[in-house]
Amino acid sequence: MNGSNITPVAEWRSNLRVLWFGNFMVGIGFSSIGPFIALYIGTLGHFTNGQNAFWSGIAFAAPFIVKALVSPLWGRLADTHGRKLMLLRASLGMAVVIGSIGFVTNVYELIGLRLLQGAFSGFISNANALIATSVPREKSGQALGTLTTGNVSGTLIGPLVGGVIADFVGYRYTFAVTGIMMLAAFFLVLFFVKEHFVPVTKAQLQQRGNFFKTLDNRRIILGMFITTLIIQASNNSIEPILSLYVKQLMHGGGHVAIAAGVIEAINGVATIIAAPRFGALGDRIGTHWILTVGLLFSMLVFLPMAFVRNVWELGGLRLLIGISDAALIPSVQTIMAKYSSPDTMGQVFSWNQSFQATGNVIGPLIGSTVTNFAGYPGVFISTSILVLINFLLVRRNTGRLRKDQPLR
C-alpha cells in the first residue's frame, strides 16, 4: 500500500470509532423496517399469501436494482472527490427517502420510494473503502471486521426497536425512526470523520481505460465480486418470507412483529463477537481460509431451518448463522483491500457493492418464487444449494492464495 494513503494511527483509529457508530446508526435504520415490511404491505391492500410474498420480494429488491446500476458511478466519484462526500450523500439522501415511506398509501408508492432509496445507497461500502485505504494492510482484516460489528450491532437492536414500535404505535412510525437514524449518521460523518484524500484525476482514469482490465490480481477480485453476489442472494432469499414463516410457526398468535424482530436480529449476537476475531485470525492464517470454512458452515446451518417446528429452533439456527456471517462479507472485503491498489479502492468497493446489490435483487426474487412452488421450507433448501455453489467457486478462485498461504 502506498505510504501516502496510510493516515497516522490515532487518526485512522478515530475514524474507525466514528464510522463504527455511523454504521451502527445505519444498521438500526435499515433493520428496524426489515422484519415487518411484508406485514406493512399487508396493510396497503388485500393480498393472498402468494401475492404478499411476491410484493415483498419486489419491495426488498427494488432499492438494489438502482444500486446495482449507479454504484460504479459513485465509485468513480469516490476516487475523484473522496469517500467522505459519498458518505454524506448516502446518509442524507436515505434519511429523506426512507422517512417518506411512512406516508405511502399503496404498494406502488412504496416500491417507487424503495427504487429511489437505491440511488442514495453506499454508506457501508464507502465507510469500508475509507478505512481500507487508511489502515495498514496487515491490520485491515481486524479493522474491517471491527467496522462490520457496528452495522451488525445496529442490525441486532434495530428489529427489536422496529418490532416494538410497529406493535404498539404502528408500522409507519418506524420509518420516521429510520430517517432520524440516517440523519444522525450524516452529522457524525460531517463533524467527526477526517479524510486526507488524494484524488485520482479524470486524466488518470481515462489513461487506465477499462477498469476490469487494469485490476491488480484480477481473478481474485472478480472472484470476490461473484462471491459477494451469491452471499447476498443466499442471505436475502429468506428475507421476504422470514416474518411470514415466523407467523406460521406461531400459528398466527402472539406478538408476531416482535418475534420476527428477535429472529431477524439474533444472529447479530454471534456476529458481533466473532467478526473481529475472525478478522484478526485471517490476518495471521489467511483470510481465504476463514471465508471457505464460513461458507461450508453456512450451508450446514441453512438446511435444517426448513424443518424447524417452532420459533425457538429457528432462533437457535439463526444464532449459528451469525457465526458464518462473521466469516463471509468481512473476509471478502479484507481480501479486496489486501489485493487492490489504494487509488482504485473506491471503484473496487463500489463495483463490489453493485454485485452485492445484484445479489440482493436476485435473492428475494428467488425466495418469493420458490415460496409459490415449494412453500417456506423450500426457500431454505434452495438457499443451501446456493451456498454450496458459492463454496465450490471460492475454492476455485482462491487456489493461488492457498498455495501462497497454506493452512498450518
pLDDT, tens digit (0-9, with 9 covering 90-100), for 66-105:
888 888 887 778 777 888 888 999 889 989 988 898 888 8
Q: What is the residue whose three cell numbers read 414500535?
A: 165
Q: What is the CATH number of the domain that holds 179?
A: 1.20.1250.20
Residue 161 lies in a domain: yes
- Indicate if the pLDDT at residue 214 is higher than 80: no
Residue 325 lies in a domain: yes
pLDDT for 297 equals: 93
Q: How open is the CA angle 122-326-88, to the nearest 5 degrees?
A: 20
Residue 199 lies in a domain: no
- Residue 391 banded pLDDT, cuts 50, 70, 90: very high
- Determine the average pLDDT of the residues in 117-139: 81
Residue 212 lies in a domain: yes
DSSP secondary structure of 144-195: HHHHHHHHHHHHHHHHHHHHHHHHHT-HHHHHHHHHHHHHHHHHHHHHH---
- Indicate if the pLDDT at residue 208 is higher than 70: no
Reading the block at residue 393, the C-alpha cell is 467457486
- Determine the average pLDDT of the residues in 358-371: 82
Helices in 197-310 by DSSP H: which ranges?
A: 202-208, 218-236, 239-249, 256-265, 267-285, 287-302
Lowest mean pLDDT among 235-249, 318-332, 374-388: 235-249
Determine what percent of the chain is predicted with pLDDT higher than 70.
Answer: 90
What is the residue-averaged pLDDT of the chain? 81
- Indicate if the pLDDT at residue 6 is higher than 60: no
CA nearest neighbour of 128 among 331, 271, 284, 399: 331
Lowest mean pLDDT among 7-11, 182-186, 238-242, 254-258: 7-11
Q: Which residue has the higher pLDDT, 187 or 262?
A: 187
- Determine the average pLDDT of the residues in 145-165: 78
pLDDT for 3 equals: 39
How many domains, in total, are found in the chain?
A: 1
- Indicate if the pLDDT at residue 185 is higher than 80: yes
Amino acid sitting at position 291: L
Distance CA 5, CA 24 (A): 26
Determine what percent of the chain is predicted with pLDDT higher than 90.
Answer: 7
Distance CA 360, CA 228 (A): 10
pLDDT for 371 equals: 82
- Indicate if the pLDDT at residue 111 is higher than 60: yes
- Indicate if the pLDDT at residue 211 is higher than 70: no
Q: How open is the CA angle 123-15-341, to the nearest 5 degrees?
A: 70
Residue 170 lies in a domain: yes
Are 34 and 159 in contact by the 8 Å Cβ rule? The answer is: yes
pLDDT for 200 equals: 63
Helices in 304-344 by DSSP H: which ranges?
A: 311-327, 329-338
DSSP 6: P
- Indicate if the pLDDT at residue 257 is higher than 80: no
Q: How many CB atoms lie within 10 A of CB 272?
A: 18
| Segments forming the whole domain that contains residue 131 | 7-193+204-404
Amino acid sitting at position 393: L
Query: What's the pTM value of the predicted model, to 2 decimals?
Result: 0.71
Q: Is 317 exposed, middle or buried (CB count within 10 Å of its CB: 0-12, 13-18, 19+)?
A: buried
Using a CB cutoff of 8 Å and minimum separation of 24, what contacts does 336-339 make?
A: 336/132, 336/221, 336/224, 337/128, 337/132, 337/137, 337/140, 337/144, 338/137, 338/140, 338/141, 338/287, 339/216, 339/217, 339/220, 339/221
Q: Which residue has the higher pLDDT, 392 or 165?
A: 392
Are 15 and 126 in contact by the 8 Å Cβ rule? The answer is: no
Residue 1 lies in a domain: no
Distance CA 106, CA 115 (A): 15
Residue 282 lies in a domain: yes
